[in-house]
Amino acid sequence: MTREQLLTGLQQEYAQKREDNMRLYEQHKDEACARCVGLEDLLVARHAAIVMGVRTSLLQKQKNPKASTNLPNAMQQYNQRIAALLEKNGLDSDYLQPIYTCQACKDEGYIYDPSRRMCECMATELNSRVLRDLGLDGDKHTFEAFDETLFSDEKTDGAPSQRAVTKINRDICIRYADSFPQTPTRDLLLIGKSGLGKTFLLQAIARRVVQRGYMPVYTSAYRMFELTRRAYMENNSAIMQELMNAELLLLDDLGTEPLMNNVTVTQLFNLLNERQLAGRHTVISTNLSFNEIAARYTERISSRFLDQTGCSRLVFIGDDIRKNLRRGANEE
Ligand SMILES: [Zn+2]
């Protein structure tokens, strides 16, 4: 699903929520009116005062934009009388307040002060639906949860430690996610053996980009292979559209998928080529070395990762941290 489709679904639910709450309010009103003698008349009078007050104030404002009305005062008096009557009959004084699930946006999903923006309640729900749609539920793999102390701080022969290198790579990923789509380079290639935090960072990029209001596609190379195979078997290139068109494609574990004659290589080339031509962003992680990429996918593909203006290469070094992993930390 696209972000827009998820948003449309959410907006429909908000409309439903408003309707449900309105119905609940009507129920409250019927109950209260049955119980409190004189309440219905008061409510009718208050409503009439609102309508009249709005009309008068519009007319006054036409004549004199600075004119103020005494509508708020009148309303306050009505509200106090209504509250007193409710209490006298054993109901809460706010029993007839409008019912909103979210007070901030009154279940509109948007706040209009000073300009239209999505309410926190809707933004949070939309993000979690986008993440669920991407298969990234929960919030385990985030930049905030990235624990660099899991990586060795030992230096050998004056070379930077695994921790230092990983931190640099993490910072590049953070910068990429925070600046998307105006990233320093269009693509990233995370390269290194398994268990060095690459998948973690890929998912953290996806999360951050989702939080910022974009809709990336996160997928394993194996799933890409499955789609590729189906597109080939069914002679239907539309199957690849999701990967082709994603504004940001995060492709995890390149090299672990099976190779199917020339199909995988050709399709991967087409995918990368089309995305590049369209200026779309791609982030890939792989356990293969650079030479292995060239051997497996041909120079035609590996050379794309060499273009330093288009692609930053992040090389991960050291030992698999899963050996000394604590529960819930940077596993891959
Ligand atoms: Zn809200």
pLDDT, tens digit (0-9, with 9 covering 90-100), for 57-89: 788 777 776 666 667 788 889 999 999 999 999
- Rounded to the nearest angstrom, the distance between the alpha carbon of 115 and the centre of ligand 1 is 15
User: Of 79, 101, 123, which residue constitutes the final position of a domain?
Assistant: 101
User: Of 45, 79, 101, which residue constitutes the final position of a domain?
Assistant: 101
Nearest C-alpha neighbor of 5 from the set 169, 166, 215: 215
What's the number of domains the chain is made of? 2
- Rounded to the nearest angstrom, the distance between the alpha carbon of 124 and the centre of ligand 1 is 10
Residue 332 within any structural domain of the chain: no
Q: What is the pLDDT, as a whole number, of residue 229?
A: 87
Q: Can you give the pTM of this predicted structure?
A: 0.73
Residue 106 within any structural domain of the chain: no
- Rounded to the nearest angstrom, the distance between the alpha carbon of 117 and the centre of ligand 1 is 10
- Rounded to the nearest angstrom, the distance between the alpha carbon of 112 and the centre of ligand 1 is 11
Residue 119 within any structural domain of the chain: no
Residue 123 within any structural domain of the chain: no
CATH of the domain at 243: 3.40.50.300
Distance of alpha carbon 128 from alpha carbon 133, whole angstroms: 8
DSSP H or E segment with residue 44: helix 39-63
- Rounded to the nearest angstrom, the distance between the alpha carbon of 304 and the centre of ligand 1 is 45
Residue 111 within any structural domain of the chain: no
Q: How confident is the model at residue 11 (pLDDT cuts 50, 70, 90)?
A: very high
Distance of alpha carbon 263 from alpha carbon 89, whole angstroms: 77
Distance of alpha carbon 245 from alpha carbon 227, whole angstroms: 14
Residues 93 and 140 in one domain: no
**What b/e sequence results for 154-177 when a residue is b if at least 16 CB atoms lie within 10 Å of its CB, and e otherwise?**
eeeeeeebbbbbbeebbebbbebb
Residues 144 and 236 in one domain: yes
Residues 78 and 148 in one domain: no
- Rounded to the nearest angstrom, the distance between the alpha carbon of 122 and the centre of ligand 1 is 6
- Rounded to the nearest angstrom, the distance between the alpha carbon of 236 and the centre of ligand 1 is 42
Residue 115 within any structural domain of the chain: no
Residue 172 within any structural domain of the chain: yes
Residue 170 within any structural domain of the chain: yes
Residues 158 and 72 in one domain: no
Residues 182 and 94 in one domain: no
What residues contact residue 229 under an 8 Å CB cut-off, 6+ apart?
A: 260, 263
- Rounded to the nearest angstrom, the distance between the alpha carbon of 102 and the centre of ligand 1 is 5
- Rounded to the nearest angstrom, the distance between the alpha carbon of 7 and the centre of ligand 1 is 14
Q: What are phi and psi of 33, to 5 degrees?
A: -65, -35
- Rounded to the nearest angstrom, the distance between the alpha carbon of 137 and the centre of ligand 1 is 22
Distance of alpha carbon 183 from alpha carbon 105, whole angstroms: 33
Is the bond preceding residue 181 a cis peptide, omega within 30 degrees?
yes
Residues 176 and 263 in one domain: yes
- Rounded to the nearest angstrom, the distance between the alpha carbon of 293 and the centre of ligand 1 is 48
- Rounded to the nearest angstrom, the distance between the alpha carbon of 118 and the centre of ligand 1 is 8
Q: How confident is the model at residue 203 (pLDDT cuts 50, 70, 90)?
A: very high
Alpha helices in 180-261 (DSSP H): 198-211, 221-233, 241-245
Q: What is the pLDDT of residues 106-159, one digit of tens each?
A: 999 999 877 888 898 998 898 888 888 888 876 688 999 999 898 888 887 888
- Rounded to the nearest angstrom, the distance between the alpha carbon of 331 and the centre of ligand 1 is 35
Residues 145 and 90 in one domain: no
What range defines the domain where residue 313 resides? Answer: 134-324
Residues 199 and 51 in one domain: no
Distance of alpha carbon 134 from alpha carbon 217, whole angstroms: 6
Distance of alpha carbon 288 from alpha carbon 293, whole angstroms: 6
Residues 95 and 144 in one domain: no
